[in-house]
A = this chain, B = another copy of it.
Amino acid sequence: MTKGASLSEIHDAALQRLRQSDQRYTPNRRKLVETLHEAPHPQPIGSVLEQAAGLAQSSTYRNLTVLENAGVVHRIVTGDDHARFELSEDVTGAHHHHLVCTQCGNVLDVALSDQLEDLIHSELALAAASKGFNGQHHRIDLIGECVTCV
């Protein structure tokens, strides 16, 4: 599934963000970005390595961390013990949340209305402030069973 932004727009955004972090946009990193762009939903490292043939596992971990720190990639940790990766919202421009399958660990993207997002954001901000907590962003997961696991 192709996201809203085109691949070249995404490469541009990635390049820009990496430069801001004094990082290079190497062929391996480009390949990671392309692989994640083509994936229909967040991918565990195993799948990424299968898709982007030729990448070493350790370099992939390292590059995903670089891309994460630069804000190009987002790491999703659910509890089943493989982290999953997707392009960051800053790069795709699409704020969304996740459906997490308790059986297979798969993660799907889902969006809520802007109106509801605003309500959530402001109520969370209020609650956080009362505890001196400085909130930066929220994440919402719906836990359940995906269509192939029911």
Known: A77-B77, A77-B79, A140-B139. A133 touches B120 (CB 8 A): no
Q: Which of A2-10, A17-25, A31-39, A105-113 contacts B (4 or more CB under 8 A)?
A: A105-113
* Residue from B75, B112, B136, B144 within 8 A of A143 (CB atoms): B136
Q: DSSP majority for the A interface? A: mixed
Chain A 99-137 interface 0/1 with B at a Cβ cutoff of 8 Å (1 = within) = 101100000101111001001100110011001111111
Question: Is the C-beta of A145 less than 8 angstroms from some C-beta in chain B?
Answer: yes
Report the bound CA distance from A140 to B140 in whole Å: 4
Known: A99-B128, A112-B124, A119-B116. A133 touches B138 (CB 8 A): no
Interface residue total, chain A, C-beta cutoff 8 A: 38
Residues of B contacting A137 in the complex (Cβ-Cβ under 8 angstroms) = 142-144
Q: Is the CB of A139 within 8 A of B141?
A: yes
Total copies of this chain within the assembly? 2
Residues of B contacting A124 in the complex (Cβ-Cβ under 8 angstroms) = 110, 112, 140, 142
Residues of B contacting A135 in the complex (Cβ-Cβ under 8 angstroms) = 99, 142-144
Chain A 63-106 interface 0/1 with B at a Cβ cutoff of 8 Å (1 = within) = 00000000000010111000100000000000000010110000
Mark A residues whose CB is within 8 Å of B: 75, 77-79, 83, 99, 101-102, 108, 110-113, 116, 119-120, 123-124, 127-128, 131-147, 150
